[in-house]
Each structure stands twice: as structure tokens, then as C-alpha cells.
Amino acid sequence: MAWHASVLTLFPEMFPGPLGFSLAGKALREGRWRLEATDIRAFATDRHRSVDDAPFGGGAGMVMRPDVVDAAVGAALAGGDPARPLIYLTPRGVLLDQAMVRDLAAGPGCILLCGRYEGVDQRVIEARGMREVSIGDYVLSGGEPAALVLLDACVRLLPGVMGLAASAEEESHAAGLLEYPHYTRPAEWQGRRVPEVLLSGHHAEVARWRRAEAERITRERRPDLWARYEAARRQRPDASP
Ligand code: 6GU
């Protein structure tokens, strides 16, 4: 069966959105993955179709009701492989990283719950054993853009979606480094030359330069990744200094 994403949202029209374009969109049309966006409001039970209510304890905003969200989750589970992980997208979640993306892409798909308002009643998150995931340390107005980000990251790793260029980039990130810079013709543009080593045809020297640039950029921009990379390098018995 194709990799299957179910998105639970109050704004199903946001999907596939940008994922309908480029290689993800082509792969979607080719059936390499499947996407359903379900309107949570379809599971409302009262005549006002209400999906939210005021927070216990007071405060601003509204909270999504556990009964309505639970019914939507139940329908998604019944509509696909019940082993798919349940993910609630929230800025309070654990940070999405490439290791999590790799795990998700290797599985049967995922069920993504997008919160709006102040969030979702915590009891349904716990009762369904959902993983809470964030895409970064900033606040979005809803989980939908985060769901699109997570899906893009997964879909590009599916077999036959992106090919060799993508796997090379993925490997570089997997090694724990940011990627080296890229250049194409002309060799001189607005007085700026492409680094000479890249024109040399010496493959080993090109590889050495790229590794050195990847390390420099990682050290300068991401001291957190650099510390982890150095720690991992120290673990290796054949470590180069
Ligand atoms: Cl997953 N949701 C929202 N609303 N904001 C976020 C986020 C998720 N990740 C980072 N910011």
C-alpha cells in the first residue's frame, strides 16, 4: 500500500496546497503516496456544529472539544492502517528533525491532527497516545503549515519521489552537517569567481573542499549541531582530528 497521510483539520482546503506542485504533487498523482484532509467539523454533533469551547480555568481563546476530535481520530484510524502514528502538531511538541522524518517515511504513513484556537483538550491527546510534535521555536496560527512541512519532508524520501540529488542532501544532513555551497555556470559572474578547486576536475580535492565548507558553515551557524557532530566523531575509532 502507498504511504498514507490523513490530516484532521478545520481547514481541509489548505491541502494538498503546496504539496500539489513539483515532485510531491507528481508523486501524489502517480499514487506513490496518498493524502486525505478531513474536516473535523464533520464530526460535530450539536446543531451549531461546534468544535470548540471556553477553557476551564478561564483565559483567552477557545479549546477544541475532546469528543469531536476523538470521533475524527477514530474515523481516520478506521480508514487506513491502524498502525499509523498519531501526531498532534503543536508548538509545545518535541522538535521535528530528520531522524523523525526518516522513521515516519519508512512506516505506513501518519495521521496528523492540526490544532486551531488555543489548542486541543489534553485528555484526547493522552487517551489516543498521540505524539506532540513542533516544527520549530516560533508560533504559527495553526498546525496546518506545520503538517505541510512534515509531509513535504517525508514524501521527498519515499521511493521514486526525488532520486539521487535528494538522497545526497539527506545523507549530508544525516551525517550531522549543513550542506556545502553550490555553483553553476558561468565561472565568473558579476566579478565573483566560482572556487577554483571546483573547476579543477580533481574529485578527491573537490570532496575535501566540500567537507571543509560543510564543517565551517555548521560551526559558524549551528554550534548545537557542531557539538553533536564533534562528539560523534570522537566516538569513532578511526577519528580524524
Ligand atoms: Cl506544530 N503548530 C503551531 N501552531 N505553531 C508551531 C508549530 C506547530 N511548530 C512551530 N510552531
DSSP string, 178-212: PPPP---S-SEETTEEPPGGGGS--HHHHHHHHHH
**How high is the pLDDT of residue 166?**
60
Q: Per-residue pLDDT tens for 101-156? A: 999 999 999 999 999 878 999 999 999 999 999 999 999 999 999 999 999 999 99
| 139 C-beta closer than 6 A to ligand 1 | yes
Quick check: CB of 143 below 6 Å from ligand 1?
Answer: yes
Is residue 134 lining ligand 1, measured as CB closer than 6 Å? yes
Is residue 171 scored above 80 in pLDDT? no
85: in domain? yes
Mutate to test the pocket of ligand 1, among 95, 137, 139, 144 (most ligand atoms within 8 A of CB): 139
Same domain, 140 and 104: yes
| 142 Cβ closer than 6 Å to some ligand 1 atom | yes
* pLDDT value at residue 195: 98
Mean pLDDT of the chain: 94
CA of 15 to the centre of ligand 1 (A): 17
- Cβ 137 under 6 angstroms from ligand 1: no
Report pLDDT for 238.
67
Note the pLDDT tens digit of each residue in 196-207.
999 999 999 999
Q: Are 8 and 60 in the same domain?
A: yes
Tell me the CA–centroid distance for residue 136 and ligand 1, in Å.
7
Regarding whether 222 and 104 lie in a shared domain, the answer is no
Q: Binding site: residue ranges?
A: 115, 135-140
Do 134 and 82 lie in one domain? The reply is: yes
Please check whether residues 48 and 132 belong to one and the same domain.
yes
In a domain, 100, yes or no: yes
CATH of the domain at 192: 1.10.1270.20
Q: Do the domain assignments include residue 9?
A: yes
Q: In this model, does residue 240 exceed pLDDT 80?
A: no
168 has a pLDDT exceeding 90: no
Distance 131 CA to ligand 1 centre (A): 14
Q: Are 141 and 185 found together in one domain?
A: no
Task: Give the total number of structural domains in the chain.
Answer: 2
Please tell me the total number of residues recorded for the chain in this structure: 241
Look at residue 36 and tell me if it is in a domain: yes
- Asked if residue 146 and residue 44 are part of one domain, the reply reads yes
| Grid coordinates belonging to 15 | 491541502
Do 143 and 193 lie in one domain? The reply is no
- With respect to residue 189, please indicate whether it lies within any of the assigned structural domains: yes
Q: What is the pLDDT of residue 62?
A: 96
Of the pLDDT bands very low, low, confident and very high (cuts 50, 70, 90), residue 163 is confident
Q: Is 6's pLDDT higher than 60?
A: yes
Whole domain around residue 196: which residue ranges?
175-235
Residues 141 and 199 in one domain: no
156 φ, ψ (degrees, to nearest 5): -65, -15
